[in-house]
Amino acid sequence: MSLPLLTSPALGGIAHGFTGRRGGVSSGLLAGLNVGLGADDDPVAVAENRRLAAQAILQGAALVTLHQVHSADVIHVTEPIPTDQRPKADAMVTDRPGLLLGVLGADCPPILFADEAAQIVGAAHSGWKGAFAGVGEATVDAMEKLGADRSRIVAAIGPCIQQKSYEVDAGFFVRFCEADPENERFFREGRPDHYQFDLEGFIAARLAGCGIGTVHMSGVDTYSDAAGYYSFRRATHRGEPDYGRQMGGIGLRP
């Protein structure tokens, strides 16, 4: 089965890809390539979807994923981790070939990182909580500890909910602006006491501010493309009881 993958020109020859909804073997409400273990889906279908996704990105690699908790915690991966032993964290780094670092999302973007010269890669799940807490910067720091050069690190932000689809309340706006008045630029006024938040732009600015070489944004809106992507917020607005997840994956070839 051939799966469509979105890739980033910024990541060059590093094996990577962002999956969407198309392809896969899940059916019903979650039809498509649901790779989320937290969804109410057939475990056999989810396992097959994860296998298909991993093979499409880096054939023969061992897929490593996390129990994501919207934190800024990063782990150093040196070997495969059994699915039932996934650590609670939201980012990973490795310098070991044959491991595919996979982070999941359903509006929150996966971010893939690489210092191709040093052969060090990373992956982070970055919803607003993780981005606000600095998960991107923490991933860069962890890559540096392995020997990466910050100025060579490239980051690709995957599909996520875009500003036109992401309404937040005044309290959310105030929280960001109190943390840094410059954050006001990531908000557009919407209906009374509500704003449209540019999550992707906020993440990109944080990453650029920490001194990495390149930041690439996909610009793909998970919310508005129901055929192409799963979306937590779209499912909530539709009153649907569940939602699937897509994945961003990156690894070093053996």
Q: What domains lie within the chain, and their CATH numbers?
A: 11-159+224-251 (3.60.140.10)
Residues forming beta bridges with residue 112, ordered by sequence position? 123, 156
For 80-105, write each residue's pLDDT tens digit: 999 999 999 999 999 999 999 999 99
Q: Given pLDDT bands bounded at 50, 70 and 90, which one contains residue 45?
A: very high
Which amino acid, residue 229?
Y
Q: Given pLDDT bands bounded at 50, 70 and 90, which one contains residue 204?
A: very high
pTM for the whole structure: 0.97
- Residue 86 CA, chain-centre distance (Å), reads 17
For 210-238, write each residue's pLDDT tens digit: 999 999 999 999 999 999 999 999 999 99
Among residues 168, 117, 157, 139, the alpha carbon closest in space to that of 66 is found at 139
Q: How far apart are alpha carbons 117 and 150 in whole angstroms?
A: 12
125-154 average pLDDT score: 98
Is residue 1's pLDDT more than 70?
A: no
Backbone dihedral region for residue 28 (phi beyond 0: left; psi -120 to 50: alpha; all else: beta)? left
Q: Is 28 exposed, middle or buried (0-12, 13-18, 19+ CB in 10 A)?
A: exposed
188-192 average pLDDT score: 95
Among residues 159, 228, 186, the alpha carbon closest in space to that of 17 is found at 159
Is residue 2's pLDDT more than 90?
A: no
Cβ contacts of 192 within 8 Å, gap of 6 or more: none
Segment holding 168, helix H or strand E:
strand 167-169
For the chain, percent of residues with pLDDT exceeding 70: 100
SS3 2: coil
